[in-house]
Amino acid sequence: MADDDFVIDDAAAFLADQLSVTASSEGDGYIQYVAEATDLDQRLAGHRFALYVGSTLVLQLKFPGELKPVRRFGPGRIPIATLRRNADFSATLVDEASGRIVAIAPEQLSGDPFEAAQISEVGDFLTRVQGNHTKFPSPDVLTIGAKSFYGKVDSVELKAACLTILFHRLIWLEKLNEADIGFLRWLVGQSRDVLRECRQQLKTAPPSWTLVRWTVSLATTAGHGAIVNNDPETARRFYAIAGSQIHHLKISPVSGLNVINGCFFSGLLAAVSGDMDMAKKQLRNAVTGLRNMVEAQDLLANIWVTGDILDAGRTSRQAVIALVRLGLADPANKNDPMVSAAHQLDIKAAKSPVGKLAQAGFCKEVWEKLETMLDREAIR
């Protein structure tokens, strides 16, 4: 087609070829987008376009009557709370007059948010989104990377990894807004199906360490999410899944702290629900499971191993106190540490966001009922 035959129906495709888009993040809860169009044709004058990432409008591109060869747009600052709802993070251009939609080629997109969204290989995901020392520095970019990869993979353990990463972007925040709580609700719903499949695959002999690791991690964080949803029964079931993996700690030693915490919190929630036999079993597992954790570890591996054991020991100590305060301690068990009237249950002592979530008022009735059940004077 000659230049003289250039028509409006070709405008979106023409501009898409001339457009480059850059995304950036400072980890402040926003992704910033800028675009640059080059080698512009005067016949674009008066046209209006919309730039989308997934289903989110990120920039309006308007062309005045007189065009220079290069035109820049933005920045557009988009909340991560909006972007994380997307299932897809590809960029598209929409001609507002004709409604025509044209995809922008990946090579015309730059910046960490686009790079994270385009990850398709497992190794790249583990390096750039999951790995502690090699991942993207912005938590908002990690959110995009995990949400995007979640929709691309079939592996249940990788889906569990993605959901765990997304939970971690929220459960440690000082304050959760309504958008955060809504997204946590979605994550909890997704976790039900993923954990059901994880538990089925755990029946293989022996399961892989990655399956154990991500099952425990997801069950723990999903339990926290259920606390935020004010759903203690779902939280109890999730925590119990984490706690049930004591026998697999030799396969996945890194899961030790989450396993002990899972036993502890599922035990407390079982007590509140009236199932005292299960409460005793789970709280006792939180005590005895510490030995499994220590035996599974290479104590000289690094400082984090020692730190996890110390943190798990604090949870085990709280489990002993809970057993005494709830009247579930076995007087014949002389191996338990002594508990005096000065030793009181404190869920904030466990290395977990649960204490903070309780202080914020989530599952308020649960913690109030637990308080009425405790014998504050009992000693052992």
Tell how strand 48-53 and strand 91-95 pair up. antiparallel
C-alpha to C-alpha distance for 257 and 358, rounded to whole angstroms: 20
Among candidate residues 89, 112, 135, the one where a domain is terminated: 112
Task: Tokens for 225, please give them.
Answer: 């999410």
Is residue 16 in some structural domain?
yes
97 and 216 assigned to the same domain:
no
Establish if 57 belongs to a structural domain: yes
37/159 same-domain check: no
Residue 136 lies in a domain: no
Say if residue 220 is in the same domain as residue 354. Answer: yes
**Whether the predicted pLDDT of 163 surpasses 70:** yes
CA 377 to chain centre: 40
**Does pLDDT of 2 surpass 70?**
no
365 and 253 together in one domain: yes
Same domain, 103 and 221: no
Structure confidence at residue 332 as a pLDDT band (50, 70, 90): low
Which residues in 262-272 are b (16+ Cβ under 10 Å) and which e? bbbbbbbbbbb
Q: Say if residue 181 is in the same domain as residue 319.
A: yes
Number of structural domains the chain divides into: 2
Mean pLDDT of the region 42-49: 86
Give a yes or no: residue 332 inside a domain: yes
User: Do the beta carbons of residue 103 and residue 14 sit within 8 Å?
Assistant: no
Write out the two tokens for 149. Answer: 């990869």
- Whichever domain contains 92, its CATH number is 2.60.40
What is residue 9's predicted lDDT score, i.e. its pLDDT? Answer: 55
Q: How far is CA 365 from CA 242, 272, 370, in A?
A: 24, 10, 9
Whether 97 and 161 map to the same domain: the answer is no
* Pair 77, 160 in one domain: no
What percent of the chain has pLDDT above 70? 97
Q: For 186-232, what is each residue's pLDDT tens digit?
A: 999 999 999 999 999 998 878 999 999 999 999 999 999 999 999 99
Q: What is the pLDDT of residue 4?
A: 47
Give the predicted TM-score (pTM) of the model: 0.93
Domain-embedded: residue 379: no
For the cut 50, the answer to whether the pLDDT of residue 183 exceeds it is yes
At 221, the amino acid letter reads T
Backbone angles phi, psi at 180, to 5 degrees: -60, -45
Q: Is the domain of 183 the same as that of 94? A: no
Is 133 contained in some domain? no
Show which of 82, 112, 142 is a domain's final residue.
112
pLDDT digits (tens, 9 = 90+) for 344-363: 999 999 999 999 999 999 99
267-to-126, 133, 202, 212, 330 alpha-carbon distances in Å? 33, 34, 22, 21, 16
How long, in residues, is the chain? 380
Are 218 and 355 in the same domain? yes
| Per-residue pLDDT at 376 | 80
- Which range marks the domain in which residue 104 is found? 3-112
What pLDDT score does 188 carry?
98
User: Do 103 and 158 fall into the same domain?
Assistant: no
* CA distance linking residue 58 with residue 89, whole number of Å: 11
Domain boundary (86, 112, 138) is at 112
* Position 118 in a domain: no
Are 159 and 101 within one domain? no
Residue 289 within a domain: yes
